[in-house]
Every structure is written in structure tokens, then in C-alpha cells.
């Protein structure tokens, strides 16, 4: 007798044999019992989840000589022919190779003939989304009003490619990915009947690699039996399919959470030398941290995770090392890494650098920042905003308290609270220093970052310097320059240069100069007022901006007015 692969040998023969699709089997059994059998059914789901098996099982239940029945006898001629695939009343059609209008027209001409033995003539069309639009349209009328003895069962992995007019004429069933625990249970049943030894870690590795498809798991088990024989271990599974063991995955995740860069590099080196798939490793790590995030934020939902008890034990240990904010940051880095894998020349280098970023990532929440600010207030004796300090702290002469500036969140070691904050110079001194160095240093440095910003800043000057804010003013005639400088790119460049100049982080605000607001510029930086020409004042820069021809020219060349000469 010819050898039969496990996926065919262990195909479900009763509704109770179907794994992980109780919502579908229960509905079909109730329809049979109530004699409410539709003329067309559409089974949708990932590969290997039982779409075609359910269609054949349903067909056998309808055409059994004792049926329609929810428990086919498997002994009558009709049942045996359906199980062997030789029934004249059950026609299985591959939608990928029979997708033309001519094949559908032939099917449409044959539906009028009665079944040869059974009660129904049943058409099972696999991968129905492969039919052409013309073939779908040729099937519409027959599908909507078929003869009483005809049933249509469709199966597809891509339901969005099936015409809505076809879907609306069918009862649709969405099959789910089969949980890991159920796949392991089914594999253990198979190896027990086949007299094969399969350890628990090996079964878990096969179930992980199957990604919710029982047929894939059965095919993998078949291959492993041919490779190893009657005793299969986790090492055999990892060697054949290039997977990473559960323990290695947990060790790597723990090393990332602890920030152990040397351990991360060592594990990646070993995995790369063993020929493991780096892209699959990133996806498994992403799933690991996603599960850890759910476990940490919603422990009551941990039962919904597709994991066995040993994996949940590992999550409990890792949860002590992580915070939700950091896990979300790690998941973001891994997701970006997976997107870049297809374009990377060295996947190992990309994975190593990304995991080092994950290990060194530190995310400080708003609550932690507020706690640090409060601790600084207590150290410096500063009360809440708007409230005076305690009487004991006001015994001496009044003085301005230095501002508290939260440190930026960096992807580096955790931020430390400084022992003593830097003393900020008086605002008047800082304003004078900025006025003296405005054009020769600050404007030139901004111009090296954003060239076009330099010309606009030549017409501006600092108005006020505060602990967390610097105000830069523009004369009313240069309102256009102020408007252009509101661009986020310009604002960011000016804030960076001014913060470096003042040696602290500040925000920059631009505003028009009002009467009396203009500080005195140094003598060598005085702005000369335009002289009259021929008894008339020359046009200002704002007037030239208002000229239609000038404005169009500036917009076309993305330029600005640097100088005006009459």
C-alpha cells in the first residue's frame, strides 16, 4: 500500500475532529439538524486551517446514505467515495487553473443534471479568488438560483479579491488561526498513534513555526520523522527549519531588558553562525515584547495570549525588568527594523545595531519627570509655581531662583538628577551678550544650518531673555520675514543655536517690535534708516514684497530681498 502523508491520513472525518473551528462546525451541524441548508457557502481563512476539509466533511454529511446527518457513517458507498475523492457527485475544482469563462460556462451547463447517487451535486471550488471577473460574472445567475439538487462550497485565503456580488450570495464562515496549545495537543495525538517520541519543546517549536496552520505542523512533523526517525527533539526541529529555541528567545529578550550589550552580541553571533533567519528572529522578538506588554498592562488578559504555561512563566520574570513605555519604544524599534530588513545588505549588522538601541533605550514618563522636578524644588527650596517659598527660605535677601529645566529623554543610560543645577546669569547680562554677538555669531551659526534663515534674521534682534524663553523681535516693515521664520525648520534651527549660546534649553518666540520695545544694539551693529531720494522716501522692503512682479519672482526662485538700492 502506498504511503499516505500525515496531513491526508489525519484529515478530519467527523465534525468533532476539526481543531479550533468550533464556531463553524457548530453552525453547520445546527443547519443540518434544522434542515436549513443554504445553496452556497464561502470558507475564508489562512492556509492550513481546515477550509477544504470542512467543505468535504460537509459534503459527506449531506450525501451520506443515512443523511443529511451530523455524524456521517463513513461506511456507505457514498461516504467511502467522498473520502477517496472518487465520488461522481462531488466535483472539486481548482480555481487557479480553471479560472476562465469557458470552464464556468461548462459548469453552468452541467448543473441541470441530477446527481448520480447522492442527494446533492456539490461543487467545491478551492482558491475561488483566482477566478477572473468574467468567470465570476458568468457564475452569478447560477449561484443565485441554482437547481435544488446543487450546492456550492467555496474556499479562499483572500476574501477581499472575491467580488462582493459573489459574497452576497453565500453564507460566509471565517476560520481562525489555530492556537499553539491545540496544535501541540493534535501533534501529541498523532505521535502517540504513530508510535513516535516527540518532546514538549520540539512540539512547541513545530507549533510556533506553523503560525496557526495545522496542516503546516503535520507536514513539518512528517518531514522530521523522515529526518530523525522515531525520536524527535527540539534541536532536530531547530536544525531543519532554522527556528530559534524558546529559551534562546527568552535569554535574548532578558538581555535587552537588562541592557547587557555583550550578551546580545554573543547570542546574535551564535544565531548567525548557525544560519538562523534574522528577519524571523526580529518578528519573534516583536511578538515576545508584544505579549510582555499585554501581560504587564492587562494581567487579566494574559489567558488570551497564544502561549503555554512555560512561556507565561518567562513573561512573569521579564515583567519585573520592564515598563510599558519602554516596551512600546522597543516594539517601535523592532517594527522599523523589520521594515528595513528587505533593503539591508547586512541583516546581522542591522539586527545588532537595532537590538543595542533597544537595550540602551530609556523612556521617562511624564509622572517620573514631575517627580524629578518636585524633588529638585525640595532641594532648592522653591515652592509651587505662583506660590512663595516657605518663610525659612526667605530669611535672607531675595534672589531669583534658578529655573528647573527637565532633561531631554535620550536613548542612553537612565537620566540622573543633577546634584547642583547650573547657575543662570542675570537676564540683563544675557540680553546684552546676545545683542553683542547677534549678527557675528548667532545669525551666522543659524545660517550654516538653514541658509535662507540668515537673511531674515539680519533684520531681527533679541528683545528679552528669560530662563526658559527668548523673544526675538522684527520691525513692522519686516513682518514678512517674521512670517517666514515661523516655519518649524527655522524655529528649530534658531532654538538649537540660541540654546547652545545660553548653555541651556530655551524656547524661541518671534514677534513684531512695538514702540519702546527695541533694545539698544551695539554701536557697530546699528541699523541705518533709509535716506530720502529726490525729496521722497524710498520704498521699504515690505513695499517691495507687496509688488506683484517682485513677489512672483521671489516665489519662483524661492528667494528673499537682501538689499534695496534706489
Contact between 246 and 204 under an 8 Å Cβ cutoff? The reply is: yes
Q: How confident is the model at residue 344 (pLDDT cuts 50, 70, 90)?
A: confident
What's the confidence (pLDDT) of residue 421?
44
Q: Say whether both 33 and 81 belong to one domain.
A: yes
Contact between 63 and 90 under an 8 Å Cβ cutoff? The reply is: yes
- Residue with the larger pLDDT of the pair 381 and 148: 148
Mean pLDDT (whole number) for 303-321 = 76
What H or E segment, with its residue span, contains residue 154? strand 150-156
The pLDDT tens digits for 121-161 are 999 988 888 888 888 888 888 888 888 899 999 999 988 88
Q: How confident is the model at residue 487 (pLDDT cuts 50, 70, 90)?
A: confident
Answer with the one of 155, 174, 193 that is the final residue of a domain. Answer: 174
Mean pLDDT (whole number) for 158-181 = 89
Q: Does residue 542 lie in a domain region?
A: no
Q: Say whether both 300 and 189 belong to one domain.
A: no
| % of the chain surpassing 90 pLDDT | 10
What's the confidence (pLDDT) of residue 453?
82
Q: How confident is the model at residue 410 (pLDDT cuts 50, 70, 90)?
A: very low
Q: Does residue 302 lie in a domain region?
A: yes
What's the confidence (pLDDT) of residue 75?
87
- Residue with the larger pLDDT of the pair 167 and 364: 167
Q: How confident is the model at residue 527 (pLDDT cuts 50, 70, 90)?
A: very low
Q: Say whether both 124 and 160 belong to one domain.
A: yes
Q: Does residue 539 lie in a domain region?
A: no
Q: Say whether both 265 and 146 belong to one domain.
A: no
Q: How far apart are CA 207 and CA 209, in angstroms?
A: 5
pLDDT for residue 409 is more than 60: no
Q: Say whether both 170 and 229 belong to one domain.
A: no
Q: Does residue 490 lie in a domain region?
A: yes
Q: Say whether both 235 and 136 belong to one domain.
A: no
Contacts of 35 (CB under 8 A, 6+ apart): 68
DSSP for 452-483, please give it. Answer: HHHHHHTTEEEEEE-SSEEEEEE-GGGHHHHH
Residue 379: name the closest of 409, 351, 418, 337 by CA: 418
Q: Does residue 398 lie in a domain region?
A: no
Question: Which residues sit opposite 171 in a β-bridge?
Answer: 41
| % of the chain surpassing 70 pLDDT | 81
What's the confidence (pLDDT) of residue 363?
57
Residue 287: name the closest of 362, 180, 359, 213 by CA: 180
- Residue with the larger pLDDT of the pair 302 and 506: 506
Q: Which domain holds residue 235?
A: 180-241
Q: Say whether both 262 and 340 belong to one domain.
A: yes
Answer with the one of 332, 360, 388 that is the final residue of a domain. Answer: 360
Q: Does residue 538 lie in a domain region?
A: no
Q: What CATH number does residue 319 fall under? A: 1.20.272.10
Contacts of 269 (CB under 8 A, 6+ apart): none
HSE (side-chain half, CA atoms, 13 Å) at 176: 14
Q: Say whether both 148 and 223 belong to one domain.
A: no
Mean pLDDT (whole number) for 325-338 = 88
The total of structural domains in the chain comes to: 4
The average confidence (pLDDT) of the chain is 80
pLDDT for residue 43 is more than 90: yes
- Residue with the larger pLDDT of the pair 445 and 535: 445
Q: Say whether both 61 and 103 belong to one domain.
A: yes
Q: Say whether both 78 and 163 belong to one domain.
A: yes
Q: How confident is the model at residue 396 (pLDDT cuts 50, 70, 90)?
A: very low
Mean pLDDT (whole number) for 58-67 = 88
pTM of the model: 0.58
Q: How far apart are CA 278 and CA 348, in angstroms?
A: 7
Q: What CATH number does residue 186 fall under? A: 1.10.8.60
Residue 203: name the closest of 250, 237, 247 by CA: 237
Q: Which residue has the cell 529526518?
A: 227
Q: How confident is the model at residue 249 (pLDDT cuts 50, 70, 90)?
A: confident
Q: Does residue 396 lie in a domain region?
A: no
What's the confidence (pLDDT) of residue 132?
85
pLDDT for residue 551 is more than 90: no
Q: Say whether both 163 and 17 belong to one domain.
A: yes
3-class SS of residue 92: strand
Of the ranges 305-319, 358-372, 403-417, which is most confident?
Answer: 305-319
Q: Does residue 402 lie in a domain region?
A: no
- Alpha-carbon torsion angle 142, 144, 147, 150, nearest 10: 90
The pLDDT tens digits for 174-185 are 999 988 889 999
Answer with the one of 360, 378, 394 that is the final residue of a domain. Answer: 360
Q: Say whether both 254 and 282 belong to one domain.
A: yes
Q: How far apart are CA 542 and CA 513, in angstroms?
A: 15
Amino acid at each position: 500500500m502506498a504511503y499516505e502523508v500525515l496531513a491526508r491520513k489525519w484529515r478530519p472525518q467527523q465534525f468533532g475532529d476539526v481543531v479550533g473551528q468550533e464556531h463553524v462546525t457548530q453552525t453547520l451541524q445546527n443547519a443540518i439538524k434544522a434542515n436549513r441548508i443554504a445553496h452556497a457557502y464561502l470558507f475564508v481563512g489562512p492556509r492550513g486551517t481546515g477550509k477544504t476539509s470542512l467543505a468535504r466533511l460537509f459534503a459527506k454529511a449531506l450525501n451520506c446514505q443515512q443523511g443529511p446527518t451530523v455524524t456521517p457513517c463513513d461506511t456507505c458507498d457514498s461516504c467511502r467515495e467522498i473520502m477517496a475523492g472518487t465520488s461522481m457527485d462531488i466535483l472539486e475544482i481548482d480555481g487557479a487553473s480553471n479560472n476562465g469563462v469557458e470552464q464556468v460556462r461548462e459548469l453552468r451547463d452541467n448543473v441541470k443534471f441530477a446527481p448520480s447517487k447522492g442527494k446533492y451535486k456539490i461543487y467545491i471550488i478551492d482558491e475561488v479568488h483566482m477566478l477572473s471577473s468574467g468567470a465570476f460574472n458568468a457564475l452569478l445567475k447560477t449561484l443565485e438560483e441554482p437547481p435544488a439538487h446543487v450546492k456550492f462550497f467555496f474556499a479562499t485565503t483572500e476574501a477581499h479579491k472575491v467580488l462582493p456580488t459573489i459574497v452576497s450570495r453565500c453564507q460566509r464562515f471565517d476560520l481562525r488561526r489555530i492556537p499553539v496549545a491545540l496544535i501541540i495537543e493534535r501533534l501529541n495525538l498523532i505521535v502517540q498513534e504513530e508510535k513516535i517520541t516527540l518532546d514538549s519543546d520540539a512540539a512547541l517549536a513545530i507549533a510556533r513555526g506553523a503560525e496557526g496552520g495545522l496542516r503546516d505542523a503535520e507536514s513539518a512533523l512528517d518531514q522530521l520523522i523522515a529526518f530523525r526517525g522515531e525520536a524527535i527533539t527540539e534541536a532536530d526541529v531547530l536544525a531543519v527549519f532554522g527556528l530559534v529555541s524558546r529559551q534562546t528567545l527568552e535569554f535574548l529578550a532578558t538581555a535587552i531588558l537588562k541592557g547587557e550589550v555583550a550578551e546580545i552580541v554573543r547570542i546574535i553571533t551564535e544565531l548567525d553562525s548557525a544560519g538562523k533567519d534574522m528577519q524571523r528572529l526580529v518578528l519573534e522578538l516583536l511578538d515576545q515584547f508584544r505579549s510582555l506588554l499585554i501581560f504587564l498592562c492587562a494581567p487579566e488578559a494574559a489567558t488570551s495570549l497564544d502561549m503555554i504555561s512555560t512561556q507565561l512563566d518567562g513573561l512573569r520574570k521579564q515583567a519585573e525588568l520592564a515598563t510599558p513605555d519602554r516596551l512600546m519604544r522597543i516594539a517601535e524599534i523592532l517594527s522599523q527594523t523589520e521594515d528595513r530588513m528587505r533593503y539591508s545588505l547586512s541583516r546581522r549588522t542591522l539586527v545588532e545595531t537595532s537590538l543595542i538601541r533597544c537595550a540602551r533605550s530609556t523612556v521617562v514618563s511624564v509622572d517620573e519627570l514631575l517627580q524629578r522636578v518636585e524633588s529638585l524644588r525640595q532641594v532648592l527650596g522653591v515652592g509651587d509655581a505662583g506660590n512663595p517659598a516657605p518663610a525659612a527660605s526667605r530669611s535672607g535677601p531675595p534672589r531669583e531662583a534658578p529655573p528647573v529645566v527637565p532633561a531631554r529623554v535620550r536613548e542612553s543610560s537612565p537620566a540622573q538628577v543633577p546634584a547642583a543645577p547650573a547657575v543662570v546669569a542675570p537676564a540683563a547680562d544675557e540680553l546684552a551678550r546676545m545683542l553683542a554677538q547677534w549678527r557675528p555669531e548667532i545669525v551666522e551659526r543659524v545660517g550654516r544650518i538653514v541658509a535662507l534663515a540668515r537673511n531674515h534674521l539680519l533684520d531681527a534682534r533679541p528683545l528679552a531673555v528669560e530662563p526658559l524663553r527668548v523673544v526675538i523681535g522684527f520691525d513692522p516693515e519686516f513682518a514678512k520675514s517674521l512670517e517666514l521664520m515661523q516655519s518649524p525648520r527655522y524655529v528649530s534651527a534658531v532654538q538649537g543655536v540660541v540654546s547652545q549660546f545660553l548653555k541651556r534649553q530655551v524656547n524661541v518666540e518671534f514677534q513684531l517690535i512695538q514702540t519702546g520695545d527695541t533694545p539698544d544694539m551695539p554701536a557697530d551693529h546699528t541699523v541705518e534708516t533709509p535716506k530720502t531720494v529726490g525729496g521722497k522716501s524710498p520704498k521699504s522692503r515690505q513695499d517691495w514684497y507687496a509688488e506683484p512682479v517682485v513677489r512672483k519672482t521671489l516665489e519662483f526662485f524661492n528667494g528673499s530681498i537682501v538689499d534695496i538700492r534706489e
